[in-house]
């Protein structure tokens, strides 16, 4: 199918859309790709009319491909204007299945943003990520709607990186930032909605145990974690206290990304210490219990065994940074990240 590409950050391309319906009707036989569509949020009303008229003529779906940053106002406006006419697809950074098993450490250190991962050196990659953080805070977020001081958000983002994989304690963040708990909740909602942070919910079921109710918090891209904490390379990362938590977040993002649609992701923890890093409830209803270890000789403690007794998962797995799969004990398999992601994407 022929296509036309418009970059709405370009003055010339925006000028073409001075009369959007007139221009786009002239390309009704093409796939129209509108990049950075959040720059022209008013365009959605025009697209609605074009889609409806095209339907009456028998034109199939998929005439417009809209690309752009996640924006709270944009998502709301597109949902209101194009209800029943739009489908959303979250485009995540590169994952282990795309980059390959042999790039695992590089992907972990640099993160999955293509310009960061493909940079010629750790230094060039780090520079790109620093610039991304600065630009996102100072330009993109204000353009997307919220009016929050860039330095305040940077401090909060950095605190989240230090707290990687930890349970949310809004009161601690509030004290450190000098704000109240509601403000911290607003900041966190913003970072989650912009796909920068993951709030991993606890698993709830009637198991007769006192379960932890607070979510775990992860900065989603490992490369951004390392830039926020001024970690320059693999050697520095392995010596840093955040290494284990960063690896955990990296594994979780890759596995959730590879899991089938409608898979539920949670963690499990009781007040008595039973714990599983990641529970994946597949669309079939089967539960996979995944423990994440940054060791070539991984071991699990009594907490994992107790949690599995509570939950009764169909599979018990330990993800580790090695390259071979082997049995551990009690029906537990030790498995490389790439192998488990491959199993999930084909399940």
Query: Can you spell out the DSSP letters for 84-133?
Result: TT------PPP-HHHH-GGGHHHHHHH-S-HHHHT-SSHHHHHHHHHHHH
pLDDT-derived band of residue 317, with 50, 70 and 90 as boundaries?
A: very high
Compute the Cα dihedral for 250, 139, 128, 91 and give only its sign. positive
pLDDT digit string (tens) for 165-194? 999 999 999 999 999 999 999 999 989 988
Rounded Cα distance, 48 and 50, in Å: 5
Rounded Cα distance, 149 and 164, in Å: 23
pLDDT of residue 80: 56
Q: What percent of the chain has pLDDT over 90?
A: 66
In this structure, what token pair is assigned to residue 117? 């991962």
pLDDT digit string (tens) for 222-263? 999 999 999 999 999 999 999 999 999 999 999 999 999 999
pLDDT digit string (tens) for 132-163? 999 988 887 776 666 788 899 999 999 999 99
Cβ neighbours of residue 123 closer than 8 Å, sequence gap 6 or more: 232
Q: What percent of the chain has pLDDT over 70?
A: 93
Least-confidence region, from 8-12, 38-42, 117-121, 286-290: 38-42
Rounded Cα distance, 246 and 231, in Å: 11
In 3D, which of 24, 32, 76, 26 has the Cα closest to residue 49? 24
Tell whether the model's pLDDT for residue 57 goes beyond 60: yes
In this structure, what token pair is assigned to residue 148? 């929050």
pLDDT-derived band of residue 53, with 50, 70 and 90 as boundaries?
A: confident
pLDDT of residue 73: 55
Q: Is 230 exposed, middle or buried (0-12, 13-18, 19+ CB in 10 A)?
A: exposed
Tell whether the model's pLDDT for residue 3 goes beyond 80: yes
pLDDT of residue 252: 98
Tell whether the model's pLDDT for residue 75 goes beyond 70: no
Residue 198 β-bridge partners: 218
pTM score over 0.75: yes
pLDDT of residue 69: 66
Averaged pLDDT of the chain? 90
Average pLDDT over residues 88-102: 90
Q: Give the position of tokens 């840093």.
A: 240
Rounded Cα distance, 118 and 226, in Å: 16
pLDDT of residue 236: 98
pLDDT of residue 43: 85
């Amino acid at each position: 199918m022929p296509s036309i590409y418009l970059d709405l950050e370009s003055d010339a391309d925006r000028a073409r859309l001075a009369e959007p319906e007139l221009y786009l009707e002239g390309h009704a036989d093409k796939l129209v790709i509108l990049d950075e569509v959040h720059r022209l949020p008013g365009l959605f009303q025009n697209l609605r009319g074009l889609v409806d008229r095209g339907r009456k003529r028998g034109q199939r779906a998929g005439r417009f491909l809209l690309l752009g940053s996640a924006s709270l106002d944009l998502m709301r406006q597109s949902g209101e204007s194009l209800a029943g006419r739009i489908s959303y697809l979250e485009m995540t950074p590169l994952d282990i299945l795309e980059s390959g098993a042999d790039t695992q450490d590089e992907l972990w250190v640099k993160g999955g943003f293509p310009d960061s991962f493909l940079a010629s050196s750790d230094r060039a990659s780090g520079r790109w990520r620093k610039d991304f953080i600065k630009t996102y805070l100072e330009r993109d977020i204000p353009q997307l709607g919220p009016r929050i001081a860039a330095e305040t958000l940077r401090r909060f983002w950095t605190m989240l990186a230090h707290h990687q994989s930890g349970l949310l304690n809004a009161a601690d963040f509030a004290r450190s930032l000098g704000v109240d708990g509601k403000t911290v909740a607003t900041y966190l909602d913003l970072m989650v909605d912009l796909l920068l942070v993951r709030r991993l919910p606890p698993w709830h079921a009637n198991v007769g145990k006192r379960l932890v109710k607070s979510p775990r918090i992860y900065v989603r891209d490992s490369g951004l974690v390392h830039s926020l904490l001024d970690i320059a390379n693999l050697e520095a990362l392995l010596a840093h206290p955040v290494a284990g938590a960063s690896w955990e977040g990296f594994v979780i993002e890759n596995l959730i990304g590879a899991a089938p649609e409608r898979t539920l992701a949670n963690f499990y923890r009781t007040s008595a210490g039973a714990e599983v890093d990641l529970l994946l409830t597949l669309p079939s209803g089967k539960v996979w219990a995944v423990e994440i270890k940054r060791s070539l000789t991984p071991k699990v403690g009594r907490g994992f065994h107790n949690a599995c007794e509570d939950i009764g998962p169909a599979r018990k797995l330990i993800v580790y940074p090695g390259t071979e799969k082997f049995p551990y004990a009690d029906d537990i398999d030790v498995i490389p990240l790439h192998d488990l992601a491959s199993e999930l994407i084909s399940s």
